[in-house]
C-alpha cells in the first residue's frame, strides 16, 4: 500500500475560509422562528443551585424556562 500523505502536511479544505473569516459556523445560522437556549450553571465546582431569581423588569412570559423540577423522575442529566 502506498500512503503518500504520511509525513506530509495535508492542506485543509476549509482552511482558507477559516483564516479569512468567511467560514460559516453554527452560531452564524439564523432561521425564521428559531429558538435559542442557554444553560445556567453553578459558579462553584460541584455546587448546587438552590434558587433562581428572575429580574422582574423582563417579560418572562415570552420565554420558556426549564428547571430540574421539569424533569420527571430522578434527574440524571449531566451538563
Residue 2 in domain: no
Residue 79: the pLDDT is 67
Q: Domain residues for 47?
A: 36-78
Domain count, the chain: 1
> And the C-alpha cell for 59?
417579560
Domain presence at residue 22? no
Grid cell locating 33: 422562528
Residue 18, phi then psi, degrees to nearest 5: -70, -45
Please report whether residue 68 resides in a domain: yes
51-65 confidence digits (pLDDT tens) = 888 899 999 888 888
pLDDT of residue 41: 83
* Residue 6 falls inside a structural domain: no
pLDDT-based confidence at 32, cuts 50/70/90? Answer: very high
Dist CA 47 CA 41 (whole Å): 9
Is residue 59 situated within a structural domain? Answer: yes
Q: Examine residue 25 and state whether it is found in any structural domain, yes or no.
A: no
Q: What's the mean pLDDT in 20-48?
A: 88
- pTM above 0.85? no
Residue 29 in any domain: the answer is: no
Q: Is 7 within the bounds of a domain?
A: no
Amino acid at each position: 500500500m502506498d500512503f503518500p500523505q504520511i509525513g506530509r502536511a495535508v492542506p485543509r479544505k476549509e482552511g482558507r475560509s477559516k483564516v479569512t473569516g468567511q467560514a460559516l459556523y453554527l452560531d452564524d445560522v439564523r432561521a425564521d422562528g428559531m429558538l435559542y437556549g442557554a444553560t445556567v450553571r453553578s459558579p462553584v465546582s460541584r455546587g448546587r443551585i438552590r434558587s433562581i431569581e428572575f429580574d422582574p423588569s423582563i417579560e418572562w412570559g415570552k420565554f420558556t424556562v426549564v428547571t430540574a423540577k421539569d424533569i420527571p423522575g430522578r434527574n440524571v442529566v449531566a451538563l
